[in-house]
Amino acid sequence: MMERDRIRVGRLPGERSREVAEFLSSMEADRWIAEADILVDIAHLLMLRRQDLVEKDTARAVMQVLLDLYDHGIPREAFDDQFEDIHAGIEAYLIGRTGEERGGRLHTGRSRNDEVATCIRIRLRNELSGLMGELILLRETLLDLAARNEATVMPGFTHLQHAQPTTLAHYLAAYEEAFARDFERFQATFGRVNRSPLGAGAFASSGLPIDREMTARLLGFTDVAGNTMDAVASRDTLLEALADACILMITVSRLCEELVLWSSPLVRFIELNDAYCSTSSIMPQKKNPDTAEIMRAKTGTVCGALAGALMIVKSLPMSYNRDLQEATPHLWRGMDACRRSVRLLNGLISTASFCKKRMEEEAGKGYSTATDLADFFVREYHLPFRTAHTIVGRAVREGSLDLDTLERVAREVASLSLVEQGLTPERIEQVLTPRSAVMARNAVGGPSPVAMRAALKERRRTHRRDDAWHQRITEALTTAEADLIVSAREMIA
């Protein structure tokens, strides 16, 4: 038989309208943390037993039900929104199964304030780890594609105008490097999330001899969240995760914007896989890049989630305030949209085909090698760069970079002869070729295939290191949970 909400019975026994109950309940969003709550209950119970705060038989009876919930799932009735939250729902369920004499002891030495903060961190660890896993895969896709396109010449843009030729590898590796910084940010955030608030109680810990280190260890945290007031009152790690997600999504959105542009018939640099596109209900010819567009829009969702959470936490006095409950759904919404976007972006990019011919066709347009000609005058004829820049700029203005025009403007603007220095139409032609311009760009991080190969080797090393770190923390989380359950089963064996 399912108990009613047990929490109000003493102090507030009167009836409450469904409307108020629903308004106050976090039950819907608590689906995100329900499984974490079982783990928290199990760890807390193991600790209570170790500290002799509950009797052996009581601990065994309650643990039996908790393992039942762990093994077979939490029944629907515990999610009824007559309960303020899942913590109340599960407690009522336990009391229903074991009686208040036993089930009513689990909440010894804790509060829902430290309980929910712990649940949020447990689930957030998993969300972060899942998202970092998707980032690893996306980065791998970008690096693989880059490796195959070291010599694919394409136009590089500034102000969305042909600027200088570069390679597709250089472009893809640029995004990979940005996503690697996102990974680093999540990594740092993970370290701060991975501390246990459990045992902080309402905010002032407990006068009972609880052991915070023990529950932290059992739940796979690397540390306890120290000050117990801070542990229940702060949500900055939640805000930080969302901020990281926003920064990542801003880059995702920029890339998506380019996928939309590149797949447009006006540009035709990329052909997106049909599976990621939609058509029109009226225009039968259409193939629209909707996945990239929705992803671009999800950036708004994620940034909105951060803004919502920030505004909820601002101005809250110490320590716990119920407002905090309202911030948590923003976290899940933001993390979920971010993770799914990164995952689909990987699919979108890895299944697209790049139109290399079109890229090469465009690479030399818009006088994109004018800088290389100015550089040539600096290198070969020792002209000051500004003078060379002026000569080439004036020639572009006059409509041609042929020998006659260059010679004429050089005499006009700098009173010198390029022909006398040895300039020929063949030299000009050679310097203006996009491919040779790219080949010359050998500086560290530059697009020449030689520089790119070295850079990609380095990027692979970083990627492997991040991948190994990610595997380590994922395994640590899995092992901690497995060990916790082993200890729980030993208790009832």
Catalytic residues: 159, 280
Q: Which is nearer to ligand ARG, 116 or 142 (CB)?
A: 116
Residue 3 or 30 having the CB closest to ligand ARG: 30
Interface pick for ligand ARG out of 85, 134, 244, 336 (rule CB under 6 A): 85
- Other beta carbons within 10 angstroms of residue 116's beta carbon come to 25
Stretch that binds ligand ARG, among 152-160, 223-231, 322-330, 418-426 (CB under 6 A): 322-330
Residue 86's nearest CA partner among 36, 19, 13, 44 is 36
**DSSP alpha helix (H) spans, 289-369:** 290-313, 323-350, 356-363
- Residue 313 CB, nearest approach to ligand ARG (Å): 12
Structure tokens at 8: 């109000």
Question: Considering the rule CB under 6 A, would residue 113 count as an interface residue with ligand ARG?
Answer: yes
How far is the CA of 407 from the CAs of 375, 376, 420, 424, 433, in angstroms?
16, 15, 9, 10, 20
CA distance readout (Å), 353 to 52, 155, 350, 358: 65, 17, 8, 12
Give the range of 110-118, 288-296, 369-377, 434-442 binding ligand ARG by CB under 6 A: 110-118
For the bound state, the minimum distance from the C-beta of residue 244 to ligand ARG, rounded and expressed in Å, comes to 22
Least CB distance from residue 33 to ligand ARG, whole Å?
A: 8
By beta-carbon proximity to ligand ARG, the closer residue of 149 and 325 is 325
Cβ pair 167, 374 in contact under 8 A? no
Q: Is 234 in the site for ligand ARG (CB under 6 A)?
A: no
Q: How far is the first Cα of the chain from the last one, in angstroms, to the nearest whole number? A: 26
325 binds ligand ARG (CB under 6 A): yes
Options 38, 40, 116, 252; binder of ligand ARG; rule CB under 6 A: 116
Query: How many angstroms separate the CA atoms of 444 and 400, rounded?
Result: 32
Regarding 355 and contact with ligand ARG (CB under 6 A), the answer is no
Structure tokens that stand for 60 in this block: 């065994």
Q: Among 49-57, 318-326, 368-376, 440-448, which window interacts with ligand ARG (CB under 6 A)?
A: 318-326
Tokens of 172: 């893809």
C-alpha torsion 130→132→133→134, nearest 10: 90
The footprint of ligand ARG on residues 14-43 (CB under 6 A) is 26
Among 97, 102, 112, 217, binds ligand ARG (CB under 6 A): 112
Report the interface residues with ligand ARG, using CB under 6 A: 26, 85, 112-113, 116, 320, 322, 324-325, 328
